[in-house]
Chain A
Amino acid sequence: MNAAIRNSWIVAIALFALLFGSISYVQFFAVDSLNDNPSNQRQLVKNFCSSRGPILVDGQAIAESVATNTDCKYQRKYNDPLLYAGLTGFFSKWSGKYGLEDVMSPELTGNSNDAILERIAQIFTGEQLQGRSVELTIDSKIQQMAFDMIPDGIGGSIVVNNPKTGAIIAMASKPSYDTNLMATHNKADFDASMAELVKVPGINLFGSSAYRKLYSPGSVFKIIDTAAALESGKYNKDSILPNPAELTFPGMDYALPNYAYGQCYTKDKASFAFALENSCNTPFASIALDLGQDAITAQAEKFGFNDNSLGFPSAVEGSRFPGSQGVLDDAALAQSAIGQRDVLASPLQIAMMTSAIANGGTQMAPNLVKTVRTPDLKTVSSLKPEVLRQSTTPEIAAQISEWMVSVVDNGIASAAAVPGVKVAGKTGTAELGDGLNNAWFTGFAPADDPQVVVTIMMPQVDVPTGAQLTSPNASKLFKAVLKK
């Protein structure tokens, strides 16, 4: 009988050995895969309910963690959310994190690589990690001004930046919304808000239209054509370009007309200055047909088109010049060269393009974070201007800059002028049909020592509305930033 008891004992111990094995598996070997399981809310809740550092603009918190008396100890609160929704993004228990809340998350939680010593100390002291504060390059007055310039009901964007450092001074877009609705701890409230918000036409819940949305750039693309022409060596500043009333293509019944509003019809030959001042279409279409698709594509890419790698403030939608995707026929190439057809650009991309011209051909990486500080105000990192790419030569940039000044002084962007300051600019009117256009202005000032680039984009407006919302507003923004 005792032998059988011993055997039963072995069975009982074998059962326990299995338990030791399964606990080891769950609590040691499978820990990472269980923590990463998409159904596992614990890690998110753990991060979600802890305190994060604030996001600051001019020393004021636009996003901060507020202590609650519930199980979830902190609630993320956004101040002036409509103004900053596109920059901060939001941090939601129910949908994840976006915008700066996503990109700057390691700093905001205190988990960034430079906090390694603090984290080691924390193992011994048991203190909670302290999030860093993130101060933005944004100027709250300019941001508010830009935001107010966009009429409600028009999904426009305005980007104001420093061409030498890449620092963004203002980045506003509409329609905006209250990000606090996304940050709520209450799932039912979140779902209800989400259901309402997705119905708003043109809304971008997960970032700003300024860098998440692409539009036909229209004539502002002619800056790239000009750079390509000068770089090719076939053209120089004194070149005379053909300027027919329309461009026809053999074997097609399509004709590309010249720009209707302006002085283009007065000449059948044009200088670069005249063609840019009046935004004539046929000279630039001719340049593109002459240089060929590859040259224009290469130049567009040197200014940042066809690049999806930019991750700031969060994934930037890459602007597209379709020349890289296959052979365009002549008509398509001609239309692409004037920023129509399948050419698409984000307002941020156009701002970067103009910044490269303003900065002597060197394109700086756009940047939003001025300083990162620990809770005891020690600066961990501060803005380091970073060269993104060389878009063109300093000489060509200087030449284009000079022509852009005459666009404001003598041409169709005259409303952007600021008394006593040399302003360089270029407008764009991308036709969408039904008399509606994407109205653009992009330019910089002062032209001899550029401090600020202003890019304004108003989609789906008629020509007079577009003209009224772009250049005059640019003038006001230049004045405000330059304090003139």
Chain B
Amino acid sequence: MSQLLTVAKPRRNTELLLLILALGVSAMANALVNLNLGRTFDNDFFTQIAILSGLSLAFHVVLRFKAKYADPVILPVVVALNGIGLAVIHRLDITSGDTAATRQWMWTSLAVVAAITVIWFLRDHRILRRYTYISLLVSVVLLILPLVPGISAGNVNGATVWISLGPFTFQPGEIAKITLAIFFAGYLSSNRDLILLAGKKIGPLQLPRMRDMAPMIVAWLASVGVLVFQRDLGSSILFFGLFMVMIYVATSRVSWIFIGLALIAVGGVAAYQIFPHVARRIDVWVNAFDPAYIGADYGSFQVVEGLFGLANGGLMGTGLGQGSPDKLPVANSDMIIAVIGEELGLVGLFAILCLYALLIARGFRAALGTRDAFGKLLAVGLSFAVALQCFIIIGGVTRLIPLTGLTTPFLSSGGSSLLANWIIVALILKISDAARRPIDVSASSSPIEQLSPIDATQKEVPSP
């Protein structure tokens, strides 16, 4: 087990400074929307800024008490992303007459409260390891929920991933991302030695035993199940990518990557052959600019309009509120990147991507720094999931890959996504707190470590 040395400084004041900057960005974005669309600065504007400031400052204060050594960059980055998302959704509401921004404010508040709760009550992230198999069970239930008659919201935009509870709709798959990561981290950190040591070696590749393949097969089946029954290609790729990166990090074996890629190839080819909706996605992607595909149902209208919008924005963008995203279907969720690209330009999108890259980098940094395998796996899994999700949806919008419906973390309208991503942030913050916290605290959990300075020293020195 290894970790990096970090100078043990809380750096909460840095966080506060960055947070004020992030809140400033959000307030300015909202102000620009109001100015450019001829809105007055009514009470809503000030209440909303007050709510976002209050929530993030509360989070900041809780971190001061409960996770003093947590990474200082993560919270400001997330607040900035969430704030920009709120401004853009507000902007889209003005054009479309929707009230998505109000719901998004409500969900933001709920999500931040949930994240604060995690920080407050989760004393140590390693406690989650106890719930490895419960997490698996919860994941399975969450993934099956949208298929259960009665609470299923049915087929929405071609995918069956929603449930409805009273007036609310919810995407349980978003939460399953977290519980699956907890399960994989718990399972792999317990069994990694076994998986590592057993197995035949063929040339440079050490092949795993068949029985150690079981969890991978389970993950593969789960992903294929999501694809087949929920028709959700994006989540399917996301779950499998999450598992692949975690088993690779757990074992450091490249052979897993090859096995995983082989399974993807088999699953992909089979899905293309068997399921018309998968084949359709690929066809639409390849022939996006063909007018016959633009005009067709489930055709390329969405992606092509998004590209036209992005081109309209060009380098500098039209300015917030000055684009024409009214033509764009699902502008405030799947296609929000196209709206931001049109109005803030390439420059704005690069800034957004940099924020994501920063967030993900801090997540990986927490993984490198933390001392336990479970924490490392969980931090890598969650960070990589965010990265992969950004790649799938932004790559889809820019036609790098076929467009599949996924939310853009923190920006898109959608409560389940916000809730899940804020909880992920809370978990990564907690792990980074553990990573950066000085070792020799008197309240250390293990009395043996206190008695054995050699052990402790070994733990502090980074492995080569």
B368 with A5: CB separation less than 8 A = yes
Bound form: Cα–Cα A39–B291 in Å: 7
Residue pair B346, A18 in contact (C-beta under 8 Å) = no
- A12 at interface, CB cutoff 8 A: yes
CB distance from B301 to the nearest CB of A (A): 9
Question: Nearest chain-A residue to B319 (Cβ)?
Answer: A126
- Indicate if the CB atoms of A5 and B350 lie closer than 8 Å: no
Of A24-32, A231-239, A253-261, A308-316, the segment with at least 4 beta carbons within 8 Å of chain B is A24-32
Question: Which residue of chain A has its CB nearest to the CB of B189?
Answer: A1
Given A28-B314, A42-B324, A12:B383 Cβ within 8 A: yes
CA distance A6 to B291 in the complex (A): 44
With contact pairs A5-B376, A26-B311 given, residues A15 and B391 touching in the complex (Cβ less than 8 Å) = yes
Contact A1 B346 (CB under 8 A): no
The answer to the question of A34 belonging to the interface, with a C-beta cut-off of 8 Å to chain B, is: yes
Quick one: given A24-B346, A28-B346, are A12 and B384 in contact (CB under 8 Å)? Answer: yes
Give chain A residues whose Cβ lies under 8 Å from the Cβ of B384: 8, 11-12
> B353, A18: Cβ atoms under 8 Å?
no
Q: Type the 1/0 row for B340-373, where 1 means its CB is closer than 8 Å to any CB of A.
A: 0100011001100100110011001001100001
Contact indicator A71/B388 (Cβ below 8 Å): no
In the complex, chain A residues whose CB is within 8 Å of the CB of B398: 19, 22-23, 25-26
Asked if B399 contacts A35 (CB within 8 A), the reply is no
In the complex, the chain A residue whose C-beta lies closest to that of B2 is A2
Asked whether, in the complex, the Cβ of A42 is within 8 Å of the Cβ of B327, the reply is: yes
Contacting chain A: which of B133-141, B154-162, B302-310, B416-424? Answer: B302-310
- Confirm or deny: B315 has a beta carbon within 8 angstroms of a beta carbon on chain A: yes
Which of B51-59, B67-75, B245-253, B267-275 forms part of the interface with chain A?
B245-253
Contacts of B426 in A (CB 8 A): none
Pairwise interchain contact B463-A2, C-beta atoms closer than 8 A? yes
CB distance from B191 to the nearest CB of A (A): 14
Name the interface residues of B1-44: CB closer than 8 Å to any CB of A: 1-4
CB neighbours of B252 from chain A (8 A): 1, 3-4
CB neighbours (8 Å) of A198 from chain B are none
B98 within 8 A of A: no
Q: Which B residues lie within 8 Å of A124 (CB)?
A: none
Complex-state Cα separation, A37 to B368, whole angstroms:
48
CB pair A2 B353 closer than 8 Å: no
- Chain B CB within 8 A of A121 CB: no
Q: A1 is contacted by which of B326, B373, B387 (Cβ under 8 Å)?
A: B373
Cα of A31 to Cα of B353 in the assembled complex, Å: 20
The total number of A-B Cβ pairs within 8 Å is 134
Q: Cβ of B387: which chain A residues have Cβ within 8 Å of it?
A: 12, 15-16
Q: Once bound together, how far apart are the Cα atoms of A2 and B4, in whole Å?
A: 9
Indicate whether B48 reaches chain A with its CB closer than 8 angstroms: no
Whether, in the assembled complex, A327 has its beta carbon less than 8 Å from a beta carbon of chain B, the answer is no
Main secondary structure of the interface of A (DSSP, over half): helix
- B353 with A19: CB separation less than 8 A: yes
Min CB–CB distance A221 → chain B (angstroms): 46
Q: A1-B373, A5-B249, A35-B311 are in contact. Are A19 and B364 (CB under 8 A)?
A: no
User: Which A residues touch B373, using CB under 8 A?
Assistant: 1
Closest to B253 in A: A4
B380→A8 contact, CB < 8 A: yes
How far does the alpha carbon of A13 sit from the alpha carbon of B161 in the complex, in Å? 29
Q: Would you call A1 and B324 a contact (CB within 8 A)?
A: no
In the assembled complex, A40 has its CB within 8 A of some CB on chain B: yes
Of chain A, the residue at the smallest CB distance from B392 is A15
Give the distance in Å from the alpha carbon of A18 to the alpha carbon of B396 in the complex: 12
* Residue A141 is within 8 A (CB to CB) of chain B in the complex: no
The answer for the CA separation of A24 and B463 in the assembled complex, in Å, is: 40
Residues of B with C-beta under 8 A to A7: 248
B346 contacts across to A, CB distance below 8 A: 23-24, 27-28
**Which residues from chain B contact A71 at a C-beta distance below 8 Å?**
95, 326
Partner of A4 from the list B248, B307, B324 (CB cut-off 8 Å) is: B248
Whole-angstrom distance between the alpha carbons of A452 and B51 in the complex?
A: 77
> Which residues of chain A are near B368, meaning CB under 8 Å?
2, 5-6
- Point out the residues of chain A lying under 8 angstroms from B395, CB to CB: 15, 18-19, 22
Q: Is B263 an interface residue (CB 8 A)?
A: no
Tell whether A249 is near chain B: CB-to-CB under 8 Å: no
Instruction: Provide the bound-state CA to CA distance between A328 and B66, in Å.
Output: 101
Q: For window 10-59 of chain A, which residues contact chain B by CB distance below 8 Å?
A: 11-13, 15-16, 18-28, 30-31, 34-35, 37-43, 45-46
Assembled-state Cα–Cα distance A18/B353 (Å): 11
Q: CA A277 – CA B388 in complex, angstroms?
A: 89
Are B391 and A46 in touch, CB under 8 angstroms?
A: no
B463: chain A residues within 8 A (beta carbon) = 2
Complexed CA–CA distance, A24 and B373 (Å): 38
Residues A26 and B310 in contact, CB atoms below 8 Å apart: yes
Q: Which residues of B contact A3 (CB under 8 A)?
A: 252
B249–A8 contact, CB under 8 A? yes
8 Å CB contact of B353 from A8, A9, A20, A28? A20
Chain B residues close to A by CB (< 8 Å): 1-4, 95, 245, 248-252, 289, 291, 294, 304, 307-315, 324, 326-327, 341, 345-346, 349-350, 353, 356-357, 360-361, 364, 367-368, 373, 376, 380, 383-384, 387-388, 390-391, 394-395, 398-400, 463
Pick 17 A–B contacts, CB within 8 A, sort by A: A4-B248, A4-B249, A5-B249, A11-B384, A12-B383, A15-B395, A16-B356, A18-B391, A19-B353, A22-B399, A23-B349, A23-B350, A27-B345, A30-B311, A35-B312, A37-B289, A41-B327
